[in-house]
């Protein structure tokens, strides 16, 4: 009997122990569950809060716009240049490059200088008639019978009039103003590209007139086909140059709309069949091997080896975006490096148009600067917009 009671007591203890264990386990599970619920409550539920904030929407739009812009830039192709061009730009009138003395019965005089006209002024009218050629000015002067002429002058963007009495030359009797004038400023450069819409970019820097000091006032003009007749080799301390004869009486191949820091831009009016190259996007130009397409003999361009020594990251257009070095032996033998007239020569790296030559280092003609092609393309496109607005 006692043995039976002991067994019953042991079973009760065992049941009690199991109950305690189960109770402890339940408490433990409740504790874990209670700690888990707040975590779920505080987590962002992407399903329950699916509406993006205004800032998120704007950021998404910006990313989409940037992506679309990159895709658009990636698909921009132009017809590469490398051909020499003759350049003729004017300021909308006759450019005052200096003064001359008129030998009269009373002695030597310079009516224009006495009237306050300055070198760099632009003479755009005489007695209310527009003048754009020296021949036209001579016709007006020869037919003038009065005492004073009224000259329309453009200076620093401001138009005003000056009255002066022309002096009669003692030998011929012709009435003269005592002015040294020229109709335009000319030179030789290189075509960089022609867009598929017929816009061109060339030269890689602005064109200026050393005699009158004019630069950005030289806005309109033409470009012409030409051929290279010879080369003056560059030397340390002395820039070389391409020799070409520009026939300004020939049919122009393009009309200039803009004279800017990074080149000449306008409408290419002739047929052009250069090979298509993609314009580089920001960051694609890298230090390393590249090629320059230029013409140093005749009219056909040729690729020569160069190195991109340095790439300057730019957010705004500037003509010094890269430093380049000529390493092609043939080009070095012919020109000594970079010479005047090669400005605008396109630079290709990995099959992409990355830039154009702009300047030569005077002390080291094997080296020079280049402009990023994407800036030139933007200017070419914007010059087309200016034409449409003017029309």
Tens digit of pLDDT for each residue in 116-148? 999 999 999 999 999 999 999 988 888 877 789
In the set 97, 125, 343, 373, the catalytic residue is 343
* Pick from 2-6, 242-246, 317-321, 342-346: least confident: 2-6
Q: What is the mean pLDDT of residues 32-60?
A: 39
Long-range contacts of 39-42 (CB under 8 A, 24+ apart): none
Q: Residue 14 has what pLDDT?
A: 60
To which residue do tokens 């929407």 refer? 57
- Distance of alpha carbon 316 from alpha carbon 264, whole angstroms: 17
Q: Residue 384 has what pLDDT?
A: 62
Domain ranges in the chain with CATH number 2.30.42.10: 101-177
To which residue do tokens 């800036």 refer? 375
Average pLDDT, the chain: 84
Instruction: Yes or no: say if 263 and 330 are a contact pair by the CB < 8 Å rule.
Output: no
Number of H helices, E strands in the chain: 6, 26
User: How are beta strands 185-195 and 149-155 bridged, if at all?
Assistant: unpaired
- Distance of alpha carbon 75 from alpha carbon 97, whole angstroms: 46
Split at pLDDT 50, 70, 90, the class of 5 is: low
- Distance of alpha carbon 386 from alpha carbon 254, whole angstroms: 16
Q: Residue 255 has what pLDDT?
A: 96
In the set 103, 169, 328, 364, the catalytic residue is 328
- Comparing C-alpha atoms, which of 321, 190, 314, 369 is closest to residue 263? 190
pLDDT higher than 60, residue 345: yes
Domain ranges in the chain with CATH number 2.40.10.120: 81-90+190-390
Q: Residue 19 has what pLDDT?
A: 63
- Distance of alpha carbon 376 from alpha carbon 362, whole angstroms: 24
> Model-level pTM?
0.77
How far separated are the first and last CA of the chain, in Å rounded? 124
- Distance of alpha carbon 226 from alpha carbon 217, whole angstroms: 25
Taken in order 43, 47, 53, 58, is the CA torsion positive or negative? positive
Phi, psi torsion values for 324, nearest 5 degrees:
-125, 160
Q: What is the mean pLDDT of residues 349-354?
A: 97
Tokens found for residue 50: 């699916």
205 is catalytic: yes
Q: Residue 142 has what pLDDT?
A: 80
- Comparing C-alpha atoms, which of 265, 268, 264, 237 is closest to residue 251? 268
CA dihedral defined by 268, 269, 270, 272, rounded to 10 degrees? 30
Instruction: Yes or no: say if 213 and 122 are a contact pair by the CB < 8 Å rule.
Output: no
CATH architecture label of 101-177: Roll (2.30)
Split at pLDDT 50, 70, 90, the class of 218 is: very high
In the set 97, 121, 184, 205, the catalytic residue is 205
- Comparing C-alpha atoms, which of 120, 154, 156, 127 is closest to residue 141? 127
CA dihedral defined by 127, 133, 135, 140, rounded to 10 degrees? 0
The CA distances from residue 242 to 159, 205, 334, 336, in Å, are: 37, 17, 11, 12
SS3 of residue 351 by DSSP: coil
Cα 240 → chain centroid: 24
- Comparing C-alpha atoms, which of 328, 354, 327, 360 is closest to residue 341? 360
Q: In terms of C-beta density within 10 A (0-12 exposed, 13-18 middle, 19 or more buried), how is residue 37 classed?
A: exposed
For residues 383 and 359, the model is more confident at 359
Q: Which CATH number fits domain 81-90+190-390: 1.20.930.40, 1.10.357.10, 1.10.1300.10, 2.40.10.120?
A: 2.40.10.120
- Distance of alpha carbon 105 from alpha carbon 380, whole angstroms: 55
pLDDT higher than 60, residue 65: no
For residues 44 and 105, the model is more confident at 105
Tokens found for residue 166: 């022309």
- Distance of alpha carbon 38 from alpha carbon 248, whole angstroms: 85
- Distance of alpha carbon 59 from alpha carbon 61, whole angstroms: 5
Instruction: Yes or no: say if 131 and 121 are a contact pair by the CB < 8 Å rule.
Output: no
pLDDT higher than 50, residue 156: yes
Q: Where are the alpha helices (DSSP H) in 217-296?
A: none
359 is catalytic: no
């Amino acid at each position: 009997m006692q043995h039976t009671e002991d067994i019953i007591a042991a079973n009760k203890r065992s049941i009690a122990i199991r109950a305690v264990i189960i109770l402890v386990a339940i408490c433990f599970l409740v504790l874990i569950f209670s700690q888990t619920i707040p975590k779920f409550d505080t987590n962002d539920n992407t399903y329950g809060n699916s509406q993006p904030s205004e800032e998120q929407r704007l950021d998404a739009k910006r990313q989409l716009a940037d992506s679309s812009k990159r895709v658009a830039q990636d698909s921009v192709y132009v017809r590469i240049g490398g051909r020499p061009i003759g350049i003729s730009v004017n300021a909308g009138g006759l450019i005052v490059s200096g003064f001359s003395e008129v030998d009269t019965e009373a002695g030597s005089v310079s009516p224009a200088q006495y009237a306050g006209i300055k070198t760099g002024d632009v003479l755009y009218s005489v007695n209310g008639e527009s003048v754009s050629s020296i021949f036209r000015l001579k016709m007006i002067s020869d037919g003038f019978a009065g005492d004073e002429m009224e000259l329309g002058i453009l200076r620093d963007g401001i138009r005003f009039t000056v009255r002066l009495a022309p002096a009669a030359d003692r030998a011929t009797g012709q009435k003269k103003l005592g002015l040294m004038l020229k109709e335009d400023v000319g030179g030789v450069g290189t075509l960089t590209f022609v867009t598929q819409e017929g816009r061109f970019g060339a030269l890689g820097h602005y064109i200026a007139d050393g005699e009158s000091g004019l630069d950005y006032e030289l806005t309109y003009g033409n470009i012409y086909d030409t051929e290279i007749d010879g080369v003056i080799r560059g030397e340390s301390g002395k820039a070389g140059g391409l020799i070409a004869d520009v026939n300004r009486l020939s049919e122009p191949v393009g009309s200039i709309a803009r004279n800017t820091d990074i080149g000449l831009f306008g409408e290419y009016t002739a047929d052009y069949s250069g090979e298509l190259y993609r314009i580089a996007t920001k960051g694609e130009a890298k230090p390393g091997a590249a090629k320059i397409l230029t013409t140093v003999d005749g009219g056909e361009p040729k690729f020569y080896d160069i190195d991109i020594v340095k790439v300057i990251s730019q957010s705004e257009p500037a003509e010094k975006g890269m430093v380049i070095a000529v390493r092609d032996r043939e080009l070095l033998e012919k020109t000594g490096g970079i010479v005047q007239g090669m400005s605008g020569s396109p630079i290709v790296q990995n099959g992409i148009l990355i830039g154009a030559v702009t300047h030569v280092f005077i002390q080291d003609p094997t080296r020079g600067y280049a402009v990023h092609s994407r800036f030139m393309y933007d200017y070419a496109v914007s010059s087309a917009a200016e034409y449409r607005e003017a029309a």
